[in-house]
Amino acid sequence: MAEIEIYKKSPGEFDLGQRRARRSMRSQVIMFSLMIFLTLTSFTIVIASNADVIGFSKYYVIPVIMLFAAVQVGLQLYYFMHMQEKGHGIAAMFMFTGALLAFLIVLTFVTIVWWN
């Protein structure tokens, strides 16, 4: 059988762990609240556009919704996938490089279609 080693934390280590957990939970709740706010704002903008409110044309609504979506994706990857923690640098690099390449490929094809 495998031997089990039990390590007892000192009061200082225990307090440090609790502070880090509290800080992490606070940032998770703040980010979740921001996601809810962005989602509600997006729905409000779309509803205002469909109700023909002055100033909410499709030329305003579509870029704003896309911007909110991009911000939400970035924040969700960074916070909810724990990319802000140490040791996730390589995974984050590959994810963001893939996102950049995907954006550049879409931009390239859109540019080719528009010029022809």
pLDDT of residue 33 exceeding 90, the answer is yes
**pTM across the whole model:** 0.69
Q: Average pLDDT of 81-104? A: 84
List the domain boundaries for the chain.
11-85, 86-116
* pLDDT value for 106: 94
* pLDDT value for 39: 94
SS3 26: helix
CA dist list (Å): 72 to 3, 10, 43, 99? 45, 39, 14, 14
Query: Per-residue confidence at 1, pLDDT binned at 50, 70, 90?
Result: low
Range of weakest confidence among 38-47, 59-68, 84-93: 84-93
